[in-house]
Structures are given as C-alpha cells and as structure tokens.
Amino acid sequence: MTLRLGDTAPDFEQHSSDGDIAFHTWLGDSWGILFSHPADFTPVCTTELGLTAKLKDDFARRNVKVIALSVDPVASHLEWIKDINETQHTTVNFPIIADADRKVSELYDLIHPNASSTHTVRSVFVIDPAKKIRLIITYPASTGRNFNELLRVIDSLQLTDHHSVATPGNWQPGDEVVIVPSLQDEALIRQKFPQGYRAVKPYLRLTPQPG
C-alpha cells in the first residue's frame, strides 16, 4: 500500500511494549508520530529512541503522541528498552509496536525489498488529529533522524493550519512567515495581520508570526 500526504493513516490493532494498541483510538484527538525501525538492538535506533524519550515534554506541549515500530516481538522490545534506558540515560515512555507478522509494515509500506526483504525501513509519519498523514520521511540506515526537524515541522503545521500563512525555508518558531498567495483581499489581510507585512515581491509577502 502506497501512502501519500493527505491520506488517512491506516488504522490497526497490534501488540506493543505497552499492551495492545488500537491505533486510531490510542491517538484520540492528538497529533501522532509513527516511526519505524529495522530491528531491535540496532545502534542508530537505540540513540533515536533515547532522544525521543528525552523529548517527552516537547511532544506533550504540542499535543503529540509518539509510537515506534519494529518487527521483533514484545519480549525483545522489553529487553531492548532496558538497553536504551541504560545507554541513553533516560526512560522510554512511549509504546513500541511489535509487528512480528508485518501487518502494520504492509499497511504503511515499510518493507522495501531493495533495502531488506524482512526488516522495515526507517520511516517517519506525522499524523494530525483528523488522522490524515501530513509528513512522510524515509531515512537511510546510516543516518539518524533529526527530531528537532520533526518538532519544527509540527510547529509549522499547527501554525499554518490556523492562519493563512506558510513557513519559509529554514523557518524557526518566531521567524517571519509568508502570507499565502491565495489571500488577496487587503481588508482581510489587515484584519488577519494587524502587525502589517512587507511585500518583497507581489507573490512574496512576509509578516511577523501570528499568535
């Protein structure tokens, strides 16, 4: 199954390190990050899971739930979590899906035969409260994921969902944002952006970040 931005994230029920998960019910009204790992006891993923645990408060402030996935069984996950807690000096505080039957991997197209016929690729899905997929990134095995970038993207998505703006390249929270080209009514622009804007070009109008 090939997923695209805007698709509904497939629902599933599967075992996890925190018990059985019914995915959409578990997400509730939260945003979600689902990220996959080729297997347990892999070095790069160990650092990623530790970093994710340390970012618990950052995710909570954004109403984001995080869930990981590996094709190994629950017993293996629980042993791996001990290693993660020890080596990364943290406590894993989110579920790891035990996708031994590859059910979730097939739903999310995580088995790429050119990479491995048995292990999942290292993908990330950002899912909004309407259960729509808003971001998909697949990383090579040798490159650790940038969770600061995931937080930045979520900040951008949450901002742009509520205001008629887009965020420019390398945008960070607090930077100027772009007024969307579809908004042309000057009276409405003044109402939405009382701090004003500067028109670099007619199609490139920058304004202080709303809110």
Amino acid (1-letter code) at residue 152: R
Q: Which of 45, 55, 71, 104 is catalytic?
A: 45
Confirm if 141 and 36 have CB atoms less than 8 A apart: no
The span from the first CA to the last CA of the chain, in angstroms, equals 39
Tell me the sheet residues that pair with 105.
Answer: none
Sheet containing 64-70, strands listed edge to edge, beginning at the edge strand earlier in sequence = 96-98, 64-70, 31-36, 122-127, 133-139
CA 120 distance to own-chain centroid = 17
Confirm if 109 and 3 have CB atoms less than 8 A apart: yes
Element at 138 (helix H, strand E)? strand 133-139
45 is catalytic: yes
- Give dist(CA 108, CA 164) in Å, integer: 31
- What residues are labeled active site? 45
